[in-house]
Amino acid sequence: MRQNWQHWNRKGVAVLVILIIIGIIAALPVGATRWKMERTSKQVDIIFDYRDLMQVAAYKTHPQQFIQDELVKMKSAGIGSMAVYETSLQTLKWIGRVSLYGSDTLSDLTGTPYDKDENYTYVLFNSKADEESLRPMIEATFESWGIAVSPWSFKDSSGLKLETPVEDAMLKVMPPDPSTLQMLHDAGFRIIPRLSDRIPYNAAEVDKMLDSYQALGVNRILFDGNSVKGYADNAEQRSLTLFADSLNKHRIGITTIENSTPQKGLSTLAYLTDYNVARLYSLPARDAAAKSPIDLADRFQLAVKDRSIRMFYIHAAASSSTAKSMITDPMENIYNSLQGPDGFLTKMDKLGFTPGPAEKFDYSIPSWQKPLKALVALGAIAFIALLIQAFLPGAAVPAFIIGLIGSAGLYVLSKSTFEQGLALGAAISAPTLAVIWAIRRVRTHTVGNRRPVGGTDDIAPGRVNGGMRWVFPGISAGRRFLMAIAIFATTSLISLCGLPFVVGLLNNMTYKLVLEQFRGVSLLHLAPIALSGLYLVLYTGESVIGNVRRVLKMQITVLWVAVAAVLGIMAMYYLSRTGNAGSASSLELTFRNFLENTFGVRPRTKEFLLSHPLFFAGIFVALRYRAAWVLFIVGSIGQLSMVDTFAHIHTPLQISLIRDLLGLALGALIGLVLMGVWQVVEGAWKRWAPRFKPNKTSLKSGA
């Protein structure tokens, strides 16, 4: 019965391998459509915050002249768009468009007694042009809030009486100032309106506003606050659908900000606008002032090339400098980062990008993708079943059947969770199985084959009564070198088999635009390391049961606790460096820039400087010394990292592929150097160590 089951299980394993191969082949055309899509959207928009420009101008002797002069400089430097916020009475007062009075201060202006039972706001326009531009907008805004508005004037100036306190009136948000928009448009800038959800949604007013934006050439808007326009009123008015329809009619897209929590309603609005979305990188004012022009240009270049950023939003702020005894601003620093042979515009041109309004990625899902993705999903389930089989021999077929049933249920409950779960499972399985295969190959060449469950090891040449040996003589250095090349290359190839499943299952614009995150990245960074270590402990000794007993009987000492604490700290540091949230020192950033400028694509440091070299050289050493088997755990870091590179969906496939191959090549070269160093050290040790061993005969005679 047991032999029968093992026979069918072996056939089942063969079928699973075939399903994995079919899944890989099915993922290739899916990846090809993504490769094609990533070659669209080749224009990059550089945007400046107009409110920041006004705030910097407030510290100048002639603010209005400063603004006009800087607009000319910005245009010459390559800044093509201006971000304009919604306005308020407070902002209009600040820039000198209106004067505001409360009922208590009006008496000082008019010389009439103060009515103690009145607390209104009085708006006085500072020019006829201001009145023509602002009166309709102010009336519409306050009437939408149910606040009574009536004409009011003082001497030769016209105004409005708003029946609400000044403090409340200044909180009411209005659309961007139309005269400012027209002035910037006439100066040759594209307009990026920043809209909030603080104004009650009015479909007719929004459509009218978008009409005016379309006339100004607006092709994209940016939201201000933690939700998109229309989100608050969506339950009552279906305002997100109405807003999306209006955006589509006017051919205006939306924007998502990198490294920020997605604004509420953004994913829904993105779907309703057929993903007419561009990713934006926001440069903080402190970085605009503190970073060198070259550093800023390199940062922008990396964002365009590696993270599919198509909009750059530049902030600026005035600051007081005690060293210079003056108020300073970062305007020249910003211009220098864009211009010149080392400026961003030059770097962007070399990458094949041009300045202009950000375009949407040309994205469509062919009908043939659905059956192909089903085959990819089957392959991923097979991959996971093989990983379970590696730890529980004979469980391949049941694991696959359970995986099919569980995946079907998960698909019904949540398609997104289904895709991410299978992608994560395949991403963990591929590098883990690769390292397990490498462990088995080295063990076969040194100790011999191990019985799957229970029993003792086969007696390999050079073993004594089945006891554990730490040195394996008999394999020449030349043969070990060739075997190390073969094992390292095959292990890497098995790990790379996980890439098509990540690409095929997560081929969706929500991941490309980072509207949805691939969850489980931390698990991907830890699971292959832990599983490889577990396999090394349980499956390389006398027997699995014997190894488990030995581990359970081990005495916990202070040394073991200290080692566990150190490993825990290392794991926390390792996880802190993963993903986009990790930070790097200035020295590391300099090294990264050197790699980027040298190779064009920066390989991952932990791959080519740490994991790949130690793994490659470790295989060579492990074929002679058992202690070197621990380096397989280090090797799992590089193997999983290659798969994790493709889990960054916003990075183009071409960049990820080059990054992996470059890491392998450089890691192998460094590994060759380590092998050479090891051979020299080992040879010197064999030659000189016996001379320092005490002679037992001489010691006895000396006694």
Q: How confident is the model at residue 519, as a pLDDT?
A: 83
Rounded Cα gap, residues 259 and 514, in angstroms: 9
Q: How confident is the model at residue 364, as a pLDDT?
A: 83
Rounded Cα gap, residues 523 and 511, in angstroms: 18
Which helix (H) or strand (E) segment holds residue 592: the answer is: helix 586-599
Q: How confident is the model at residue 461, as a pLDDT?
A: 42
Pairing of strands 319-321, 326-328: antiparallel
Sign of CA dihedral 290, 295, 300, 303: negative
Q: How confident is the model at residue 586, as a pLDDT?
A: 64
What residues contact 523, with CB distance under 8 A and at least 6 apart? 424, 428
Closest listed residue to residue 561, CA positions, set 549, 569, 553: 569
Tell the burial category of 482 from Cβ atoms under 10 Å away from its Cβ (0-12, 13-18, 19+): exposed
Rounded Cα gap, residues 496 and 647, in angstroms: 12
Tell me if residue 79 falls in helix, strand or coil. coil
Phi and psi dihedrals of 102, rounded to 5?
Answer: -100, 170
Rounded Cα gap, residues 277 and 289, in angstroms: 29
pTM equals 0.85
43-80+185-193+201-355 CATH = 3.20.20
Q: How confident is the model at residue 702, as a pLDDT?
A: 46
What residues contact 204, with CB distance under 8 A and at least 6 apart? none
Rounded Cα gap, residues 97 and 297, in angstroms: 37
What residues contact 419, with CB distance under 8 A and at least 6 apart? 377, 505, 506, 508
Length of the chain, in residues: 703
List beta partners, residue 131: none
Rounded Cα gap, residues 159 and 260, in angstroms: 41
**Tokens coding 590:** 């300099």
Rounded Cα gap, residues 429 and 524, in angstroms: 10
**Tokens coding 600:** 């064009």
Go through 675-695 and write b for each residue having 16 or more CB atoms within 10 A of its CB, e for each that does not. beebeeeeeeeeeeeeeeeee
- Cα distances (angstroms) measured from residue 225 to each of 175, 198, 336: 15, 9, 31
Query: In the block, which residue shows the tokens 């997104």?
Result: 416
Rounded Cα gap, residues 345 and 300, in angstroms: 10
Q: Render pLDDT for 674-702 as a digit per residue (tens, 0 to 9).
A: 999 999 998 888 787 666 655 555 545 44
- Point out the residues of the chain with pLDDT beneath 70: 1-3, 114, 449-468, 541-543, 546-549, 551-555, 558-561, 563-586, 588-589, 689-703
Which one-letter DSSP state was computed for residue 691?
A: G
Rounded Cα gap, residues 19 and 377, in angstroms: 10
CB contact at 8 A, 253 and 217: no
Rounded Cα gap, residues 684 and 662, in angstroms: 33
Rounded Cα gap, residues 269 and 206, in angstroms: 15
CB contact at 8 A, 679 and 673: no
Rounded Cα gap, residues 553 and 546, in angstroms: 11
**Would you list the domain boundaries of the chain?**
43-80+185-193+201-355, 87-174, 411-687
Other Cβ atoms closer than 10 A to 471: 10
Half-sphere exposure in the Cβ direction for 502 (13 Å, CA)? 31
For every residue of 140-159, which 3-state class applies, written as one string? HHHHHCCCCEEEEEECCEEE
CB contact at 8 A, 53 and 329: no
CB contact at 8 A, 301 and 342: no
The percent of residues in the chain predicted with pLDDT above 90, rounded, is 65
Half-sphere exposure in the Cβ direction for 359 (13 Å, CA)? 14
Closest listed residue to residue 593, CA positions, set 351, 334, 300: 300
List beta partners, residue 619: none
Q: How many degrees, rounded to 5, is the angle at CA 459 between CA 454 and CA 462?
A: 145
Reading phi first (left if > 0) and then psi (alpha if -120 to 50, else beta), residue 348 is in alpha
